Structure 1
Amino acid sequence: MIIKLKSENKYFLDILYKNPNTDQGLYLKELKNGILIGNVIAENEYHCVFLDGKNSYLPEEGNQIDFQSYCSPLLALNIMTEFFNHLYKENKVLSETMISWLEKNYDEVDTGKCTIEVPTFFIDSGWYKNEKYLLSKYIDGISLQHKIGNNFELRIEGATVREAIQKFSLVALFTHFTNRYAVYTFIDDFFIQKHITMFTNLTGIPYFIFYLFIKRIMRSPVQFEKFKPQLEAYFDNEVQFVFTDTHQSRKEFICSKIDFDETVLDFGCGELQYFKLLNKRGFTQEYYAYDEVDFKHVADKIQAIERADHLVWVEKLEELKDFEGQIILSEVIEHNSLEEAKSLLIWIRDNTNFTGLFVTTPDKDFNVNYELTEEFRHDDHDFELSNEEFVKLIEEIFPNPKTFYGVGDCVKGIYPTSAVIIQKK
C-alpha cells in the first residue's frame, strides 16, 4: 500500500514531524510482518509505503497471496497511527503545542489545505452503492474513483493537515468495520477514545455519523455509557444517544412493557423478531403470529428448534376476531396506504378485546438526520407521519386511555420512532 500526502503549506513537513535532512528523508518501522517506509518526496509531498513480509493482513490462511497488504483499510489506519499519532490529540491541546524548532504552535503553522491519496483502497460493503459512498454524503472532502472489483482510488481533502489526516482515519475506520472481508480488531477503551477525539476535532460532523460509530464499533453498554457524555457534548447536549440501534430500540421498548402473564398477538409479525426476544426472556404464554406475507416456514422452524409449542401461526385475519390479550403492531401501518392503515386500526378496535395495544411507526420529522428530504425512510413505506400527525390519528380512532412515547435517540426533542400504548376500553 502507498499513501500520498500533499500540501502547499511551507510548514508541511514540520507539521508531520518529518525532517528531510535525516537519513535522506527516509523513516523505517516494523509493522506486523512487514516494513513501513516513510519517504520525503519533496517539501510539499510525503509518501507512506508498506512492504509486507508474509500475510500481515490476510483474514484467511488458505490464500497464498495477501492482497490485503496492498489495499486494506485497517492497514491504512495502522500506517497513520504509526507515523502521525501526534496529530490525533484534542484540538485544544494540539493548538497550544509548540513545535520547538519553529517556536510556533500548530494553530500558527497548520493553516493550509492538504490532500491524501490512496491509489488502491479496498471497500467490500453496502456503503458504496450506485457509484456513491455513504460517508461522502455526510462529510465533505471524501471522493472515490472505482478501479476494478472492490478496489477504489481514495482522495481526502482537508482545510488543514490535521483535518485531512483525521478525515482519512475515519474513512479507514468505518470501511474496515463494515467490510465483509476484514481481519478482527480488538476494541478497547483507548481505541474508542482515540477515534472519539477525531470526531470531536472535526466541525460539522452530523448526528448520523455518531450513530454509526456507536452501533458499528462500540462493543458493550458499559463502554457506551463511559463515552456517552463526550458524544453528547459535541452537540451541546441537544442529542441524547442510546446504545441500541433504531430497530433494537423498538424491540427493547415493547418487550420491556409486555405483561408476561398475558397472551400476545403479533400483528404483522414478519420474521418473528419480537417472539425471539420475548421467548429468550422466558415468555411462556400463547403467542399468536399473523402477517399478510407467509412467514409460516419461519414459525415452523422456530417451533422445531426452540420447541416453542406456545407459538401459534395464524393463517387468516378472520381467526383473530374476539382475540383477547396484548397486541403488537410495530412498524406495520406505514406499509399500507393511510386509508388502509386507518381501516386496520379500526378493525383492531372493533374486532378484538385487547388489554394493551402497542403501535410504533417512524417519525418523518427525524428523517432530516438521515439526510433525507422528500424520500421515505424505506422504499416500501406508503406514508410516514410526524409525531403530531401520529398522535392525531390515534386520538381520532381510540378513545381509550393511552400513553405516547418517543423511542431511540433523541435529536432536539425528536425521536426516530413514535410509539403509543393503548389500554383496554
Structure 2
Amino acid sequence: MQIIIQSKNNHLLDILYKNPATDLGLYCKELRNGVLIGNAVSVNEYHCLFQDTKNSYLPDEDNPIDFQSYCSPLLALNMATEFFNHLFKSNETLENTTLSWLGKTYAEMDTLPANVVVPTFFIDSGWYKNGTFLLSKYIEGISVVPKIGNNYSLKVDGKTIRETLHKFSVVALFCHFTNKHSEYMYIDDYFIQKHITILANLPNVPYFVYYLFIKRLMRSPEQFRTFKPQLEAYFNNTIQFVFTDTHQSRKEFICNRIENNEAVLDFGCGNLQYFKKLRKSGFTAEYLAHDEEDFEDTVDKIIGYENVENLHWIANKEDLIGFEGQVILSEVIEHNTLEEATELLYWIKENIHFTTLFITTPNSEFNVNYEMTEEFRHDDHDFELTKQEFINLIASIFPNKTEYHGIGDCVNGVYPTSAMIVYKQ
C-alpha cells in the first residue's frame, strides 16, 4: 500500500516529524511481517509504503497472494498510527505544543490545505452505492473513485495537515469495520478514546457519523456509558445517544412491555425478530405470526431448530379475526399507501380484541439527520409521517387511551422512531 501526503505548506515535514536530512529522508519500521517505509520526496510531499513479506493482512490463509497488504483499510489505519500518532491528540493540546527546533506551535505552522491520496483502497461494503461513498455525504473532502472490483482510489482533502490526516483516519476506521470478512480487532477503551479525540478534532461532524461510530465500534453498554458524556459534549448536549441502533431500540421498547403470559399477534412479523427476543426473556404464551410475504419456512425452521410449540404461522389475515391479546404492528404501516394503512388500522380495530396494540413507524422529522430532504428513509416506504401526523392518524381511528413515545437517539428533541401504545377500550 502507498499513502501520499501533499501540501503547499513548507512545514509539512516538520509537522509530520520527518527530517529529510536523516538517512536521505528515509524511515523504516517493522509492521507485522512486512516493513513500513517513509520517504520525504520533497519539502511538500511525503510517501508511506508498506512492503509485505508474507501474509500480514491475509483474510483467507488458502490464498497464496496477500492482496490485502496492498489495499486494506486496516493497514492504512495501522500505517497512520505508526507514522503520525503524535498528531492524533486533541486540537487544544497540539495547538499549544511548540516544535523545539523551530520555536513555533502547530497553530502557527499548520495553516495551509493538504491532501492524502491512496491509489488503491479496498471497500467491500454497501457504503459505496450508486456512485456515492456514504462518508462523502457527511464529511467534506472525501473522494472515492472506483477502479476494479472492490478497489478504489481514495483522496482526502483538509484545511490543514492535521485535519486531513484526521479525516483519513476516520475513513480507514469505518471502512475496516464495515468491510465484509474484516479482520477482528480487540477494541479497548484506549482505541475508543483515541478515535473520539480524532472525531472531536474535526469541525461540523454530523450526528450520523457519531451514530455509526457507536453502533459499529462500541462493544458493550458499559463501554458506551463510559464515553457517552464525551460523545454528547461534542453537540453541546443537544443530542442524547442510546447504545442500541434504531431497529434494536424498537425491539427493546416493545419487548420490555410485552406480558410473557399473554398471547401475541405479530402483524408483519418478517423474520421473527420479536419472537426470538421474547423467547430469550421467557415468553411462553401463544405467538401468532402473520405477514403479507411468505415467512412460513422461517417459522418452520425456528420451530424445528428450537423445538418450540407456541409459535404459529397464520398465512390468511381472515384467520386472525377474533384474536385476543397483544398486537405488534412494528414498521408496517409505512410499507402501504396511507389509505391502505388507514384501512388496515380500521380492520384491526374492528376484528382484533387487543389488550395493547404497539404501533411504530419512522418519524420523518428525523430524516434531516440522515442528510435526507425529500426521499424516504427506505426505498420501499410509501409514506412517512411527522410525530403530530402520526398522533393525529391514530387518534382519528382509536378513541382508546393511547401513549406516544419517541424511540432511539434524541436529536434536538426529535426521535427516529415514533411509537404509539393503544390500550384496550
> For 1:1-52, what per-residue CA distance to the aligned partner results, in whole angstroms no more than 9, with x for missing partners?
1111011112111111111111111111111111111110000000011111
Match of 2:336 in 1: 336
Distance 1:419 1:61 in 2: 48
Match of 2:117 in 1: 117
Aligned 1:309-320 pairs, distance under 5 A: 309-320=309-320
**Are 1:391 and 2:391 an aligned pair?**
yes
Match of 2:57 in 1: 57
**Are 1:79 and 2:66 an aligned pair?**
no
Distance 1:77 1:144 in 2: 17
1:53 counterpart letter in structure 2: T
Kindly state the Cα deviation for residue 181 of structure 1 after the two structures are TM-superposed.
3.7
Match of 1:152 in 2: 152
Alignment partner of 2:404: what SS?
Answer: strand
Alignment partner of 2:213: what SS?
Answer: helix
Match of 2:372 in 1: 372
> For 1:369-424, what per-residue CA distance to the aligned partner results, in whole angstroms no more than 9, with x for missing partners?
11111101111111110001001111111111111100001100000000011111
Match of 2:241 in 1: 241
Aligned 1:170-185 pairs, distance under 5 A: 170-185=170-185
Match of 1:287 in 2: 287
Aligned 1:20-419 pairs, distance under 5 A: 20-419=20-419
In the alignment, structure 2 segments of 5+ residues that lack a partner are none
Alignment partner of 1:74: what SS?
Answer: helix
Kindly state the Cα deviation for residue 315 of structure 1 after the two structures are TM-superposed.
2.2
Alignment partner of 1:148: what SS?
Answer: coil
Distance 1:260 1:205 in 2: 43
Alignment partner of 2:243: what SS?
Answer: coil
Alignment partner of 1:297: what SS?
Answer: helix
Distance 1:77 1:317 in 2: 53
Match of 2:14 in 1: 14
Distance 2:417 2:404 in 1: 11
Distance 1:144 1:299 in 2: 42
Distance 2:183 2:294 in 1: 38
Distance 2:317 2:10 in 1: 74
Over aligned residues, Cα RMSD in angstroms?
0.8
Distance 1:225 1:180 in 2: 28
> For 1:77-123, what per-residue CA distance to the aligned partner results, in whole angstroms no more than 9, with x for missing partners?
00110010010000111111111111111111100110111111111
1:91 counterpart letter in structure 2: N
Distance 2:365 2:183 in 1: 38
In the TM superposition, structure 1's runs of 4+ consecutive aligned residues that sit over 6 Å from their partners are none
Kindly state the Cα deviation for residue 63 of structure 1 after the two structures are TM-superposed.
1.1
Once structures 1 and 2 are overlaid, which stretch shifts more, 249-258 or 176-185? Answer: 176-185
* Superposition TM-score, scaled by structure 1 size: 0.99
1:42 counterpart letter in structure 2: S
Distance 1:80 1:339 in 2: 54
Kindly state the Cα deviation for residue 182 of structure 1 after the two structures are TM-superposed.
2.3
Alignment partner of 1:257: what SS?
Answer: coil
Distance 1:296 1:49 in 2: 54
CA spacing shift, 1:136–1:287, aligned 2, 3 Å: same
In the alignment, structure 1 segments of 5+ residues that lack a partner are none
* Superposition TM-score, scaled by structure 2 size: 0.99
> For 1:225-270, what per-residue CA distance to the aligned partner results, in whole angstroms no more than 9, with x for missing partners?
1111111110111111111111111001000010112111101111
Kindly state the Cα deviation for residue 301 of structure 1 after the two structures are TM-superposed.
0.9
Alignment partner of 1:383: what SS?
Answer: coil
Once structures 1 and 2 are overlaid, which stretch shifts more, 142-151 or 368-377? Answer: 142-151
1:119 counterpart letter in structure 2: P
Distance 1:149 1:261 in 2: 52
Distance 2:328 2:87 in 1: 51
Kindly state the Cα deviation for residue 291 of structure 1 after the two structures are TM-superposed.
1.0
Instruction: Give aligned pairs, total.
Output: 425
1:195 counterpart letter in structure 2: H
Kindly state the Cα deviation for residue 144 of structure 1 after the two structures are TM-superposed.
1.4
Distance 1:380 1:318 in 2: 25
1:207 counterpart letter in structure 2: Y
1:394 counterpart letter in structure 2: I
Distance 2:331 2:323 in 1: 21
Distance 1:75 1:197 in 2: 20
Distance 1:393 1:182 in 2: 45
1:324 counterpart letter in structure 2: E
Distance 1:65 1:352 in 2: 61
Kindly state the Cα deviation for residue 173 of structure 1 after the two structures are TM-superposed.
0.5
> For 1:201-231, what per-residue CA distance to the aligned partner results, in whole angstroms no more than 9, with x for missing partners?
0011110111111111111111111111111
Distance 2:23 2:317 in 1: 79
Distance 2:363 2:131 in 1: 29
Kindly state the Cα deviation for residue 307 of structure 1 after the two structures are TM-superposed.
1.1
Alignment partner of 1:62: what SS?
Answer: coil
Distance 2:81 2:393 in 1: 54
1:245 counterpart letter in structure 2: D
Distance 1:167 1:318 in 2: 55
1:334 counterpart letter in structure 2: E
Kindly state the Cα deviation for residue 76 of structure 1 after the two structures are TM-superposed.
0.6
